[in-house]
Structure 1
Amino acid sequence: MTNAPLTDLTVLIVEDEPLIAMSLEDVLVDQGVTCLGPAGSVAAAFVMIDAGGFDIALLDVNLRGERVDAVADRLAAAGIPFVFTTGHGAEGLPDTHRDRPVIAKPFRDQDIIDALARHRPR
């Protein structure tokens, strides 16, 4: 557990499940985080990435059957950190991003807070 403040952080949420996205936003807003999204598809995520204005992203690996690999590639190319959120385990991650941080679903609120504090840009 970490106590690093997140109040100056803006997070892009890439998640297709409305209840999970709302839960993430509630947890983050309670921590003083500004949230963008949720982006529920790869196309929506691309639009939000192109618009910018965020520090780090939370990426669900599967968006209504659509893999998020291209979103991860675009974030990596832009030097924007991201954390995968998935119920598919490490084998579900894109091969080129298996070294990225991952939070297994179902996750606890504190798991999200800790991951953002650890992997946020410095």
Structure 2
Amino acid sequence: MNAAFSRTGKLRILVVEDEALVAMHLEDTLHALGHEVVATASRLPEALEAARTATFDAAIIDVNLDGQHSYDVADVLNERRIPFAFATGYGAAGLQERFRNTPTLAKPFMSSDLERILAQALGAGRAD
């Protein structure tokens, strides 16, 4: 499990989501759970930049960013050994085969769903 999470319970989270209302809901829910959103990216180029350079403990990644898949972001996070979960309305079955075991937050979601998925992402390490 992530050392920052086990010590304080507070995580620094990257949110990658192209729908403004969903991004705001994620941010509000993460804050309510006691976490900090360090960055929100809504398009693939900015998501890749944040994934490569920002300092955070975990990420929530929308699978589809304005018609582009976010798997390159997931690859960067895997390389950096940063836990993440996908967020999608299609479920894990809609993911590329190599990511089928990655924790996946089904949209729409409740606070308890997000909390559970974050715990899975942190506990799972990197599952490809």
Higher relative contact order (CA 8 A, sep 6+): 1
TM-score range, shorter chain: 0.7 to 0.9
TM-score for both structures, normalised by structure 1 = 0.87
1:12 matched to 2:14? The reply is yes
Residues 7-49 of structure 1, C-alpha deviations (whole Å, 9 max, x = no match) = 4211100000000100111111122211022211111111111
The residue type equivalent to 2:83 in the other structure is: P
The residue type equivalent to 1:71 in the other structure is: V
- Say which SS state the counterpart of residue 76 (structure 1) adopts: helix
Which of 68, 91, 101 aligns to 2:103? It is 101
Q: CA RMSD in A?
A: 2.0
1:15-34 → structure 2 map (5 Å cutoff): 15-34=17-36
Q: Which runs of 4+ in 1 moved over 2 A?
A: 4-8, 117-122
Which of 32, 53, 56 aligns to 2:55? It is 53
Partners of 2:7 and 2:17 in 1: CA distance: 24
Q: Residue 6 of structure 1: CA displacement?
A: 6.8
Unaligned runs of 5+ in 2: 1-5
Equivalent position of 2:84 in the other structure: 82
Between Structure 1 and Structure 2, the one with more helix by share is: 2
The residue type equivalent to 2:65 in the other structure is: L
Equivalent residues, number: 119
Q: Residue 5 of structure 1: CA displacement?
A: 8.9
Equivalent position of 1:116 in the other structure: 118
Once the two structures are overlaid, the 10-residue window that deviates more, 55-64 or 93-102, is 93-102
Q: CA distance change for structure 1 residues 84 and 16 in 2, over 3 Å: closer, same or farther?
A: same
The residue type equivalent to 1:118 in the other structure is: Q
Q: Percent identity?
A: 39
